[in-house]
């Protein structure tokens, strides 16, 4: 008699208990979730790049503040505003690579290798290609070069193209054959290391058997970009909005 009475009670109790356990589990789950390491790494990458951007912005705000204070001090004096504008134009011309520049730096000479080929070896191994020149130039930018030219042609990363063209290389739409002479203005020691240091592309090329030589120079000149920069598709966003 006693057993017969208790079984429905136990059934109900068990169902309630089950529901409670499930609810408890659900409530706890939000607290102790686990995430894949990959996601953590992605977050870290984003964080790093945002941090770097904030640093840059702080520098810009500092610069703008200085500039504003300077111009504000002029008190609407036309002569001084003209002077400051001319200064800014000269700076922009220098940065955009339209002027001849001078300074200290390095001269890099790159020529096809002269060693004997090994049996069945691809001759391409000891021939200089466009990608080699591009990567060496990128190494130099990375080492903080201010201005770079290849065989006298100013290289501007946002305009110039370096192309393999059979036996010659095309730089800024002008043809050059070897030897390739790259001039870079910047910190001489850094630039030299950017070619010679182990792991750098210049050093790797040398190991392939391509002739790479670096000389530092206390003074040299690099010509400005020769071509005319004319924009057909580009519109100023600020002006576009104003119209």
How far is CA 231 from its chain centroid? Answer: 24
SS3 labels along 136-159: HHHHHHHCCCCEEEECCEEECCCC
Closest to other proteins by CB, 54 or 118: 54
By beta-carbon proximity to other proteins, the closer residue of 58 and 115 is 58
Q: Minimum distance from CB of 230 to other proteins (Å)?
A: 9
Nearest distance, CB of residue 69 and other proteins, angstroms:
10
Between CA 234 and CA 240 the distance in angstroms is 11
Which of 75/119 has CB closer to other proteins?
75
Measuring CA to CA, how many Å separate 106 from each of 82, 137, 191, 193?
A: 37, 12, 7, 10
As measured in angstroms, the least distance from the Cβ of 46 to other proteins is 6
Q: Which lies closer to other proteins via its Cβ, residue 110 or residue 147?
A: 147
Residue 142: CB minimum distance to other proteins, A: 4
- Between 9 and 219, CB nearer to other proteins: 219
How crowded is the C-beta side of 119, counted as CA atoms within 13 Å?
A: 0
Nearer to other proteins, 76 or 123 (CB): 76
The nearest distance, CB 72 to other proteins, in angstroms, is 7
Cα 212–143–48 angle (5° rounding)? 140
Q: Measure the CA–CA gap between 104 and 106, rounded to whole angstroms.
A: 7
> Alpha carbon of 62 to those of 28, 59, 67, 99, 214: distances in Å?
48, 5, 9, 27, 38
The Cα 56–Cα 66 span in angstroms is 16
State the minimum distance, in angstroms, from the CB of residue 87 to other proteins.
Answer: 10
């Amino acid at each position: 008699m006693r057993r017969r009475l208790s079984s429905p009670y136990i059934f109900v109790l068990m169902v309630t208990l089950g529901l409670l356990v499930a609810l408890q589990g659900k409530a706890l789950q939000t607290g102790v979730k686990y995430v894949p390491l990959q996601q953590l790494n992605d977050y870290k990458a984003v964080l790093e790049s945002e941090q770097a951007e904030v640093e840059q912005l702080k520098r810009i705000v500092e610069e703008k503040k200085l500039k504003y204070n300077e111009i504000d001090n002029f008190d609407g004096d036309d002569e001084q505003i003209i002077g400051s504008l001319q200064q800014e134009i000269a700076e922009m011309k220098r940065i955009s690579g339209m002027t001849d520049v001078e300074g200290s730096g390095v001269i890099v000479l790159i020529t096809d290798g002269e060693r004997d080929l090994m049996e069945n070896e691809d001759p391409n191994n000891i021939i200089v290609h466009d990608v080699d020149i591009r990567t060496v130039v990128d190494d130099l930018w990375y080492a903080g070069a201010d201005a770079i030219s290849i065989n006298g042609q100013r290289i501007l990363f946002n305009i110039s193209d370096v192309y393999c063209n059979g036996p010659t290389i095309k730089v800024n739409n002008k043809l050059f054959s070897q030897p390739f002479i790259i001039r870079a203005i910047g910190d001489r020691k850094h630039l030299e290391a950017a070619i010679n240091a182990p792991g750098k592309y210049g050093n790797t090329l040398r190991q392939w058997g391509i002739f790479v030589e670096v000389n530092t120079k206390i003074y040299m000149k690099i010509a400005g970009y020769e071509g005319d920069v004319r924009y057909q598709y580009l519109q100023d966003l600020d002006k576009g909005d104003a119209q």
